Amino acid sequence: MKAMFVNENEYPYAQEIALRLKTIETRGKNMLSALVGERVAIVMTCSNCYPMVIGHVDIVSAEKKDRVFLDHNRSKTRIPKGSKYDTESRWCYFLENAAPCRPFPLPSSAVRHGRSWCEF
């Protein structure tokens, strides 16, 4: 299964995705293009914890969007105004059908593809 890493050092983004509160994941670069069209695991990461699978979500499409779109869709991206993620443009990954699961550790056999996603 493919999985995307979602860092929770500053904001509970992974949990918000699993609970369907965050329906647009954003990145500064097109780092998740290999996951578009896939149902993926949501892997919560943070500096003080082991990566945990906490749910699953469909990544249905990806587009680079500008400030106007990001401001208009702040409730879907959950990016706080003025945060380091509040930039002029970002890659937006549109999410559907999120579902939490009982958390479990990312298997140690997972093959990492950089810092954005893996397969296990």
Q: Which domains does the chain have, with CATH numbers?
A: 2-119 (2.30.130.30)
Average pLDDT, the chain: 97
Q: What is the mean pLDDT of residues 4-29?
A: 97
- Reported pTM: 0.95
Beta bridge partners of 94: 24, 61
Residue 11, classified by CB atoms within 10 Å of its CB into exposed (0-12), middle (13-18) or buried (19+), is middle
pLDDT band at 39 (very low <50, low <70, confident <90, very high): very high
pLDDT of residue 117: 98
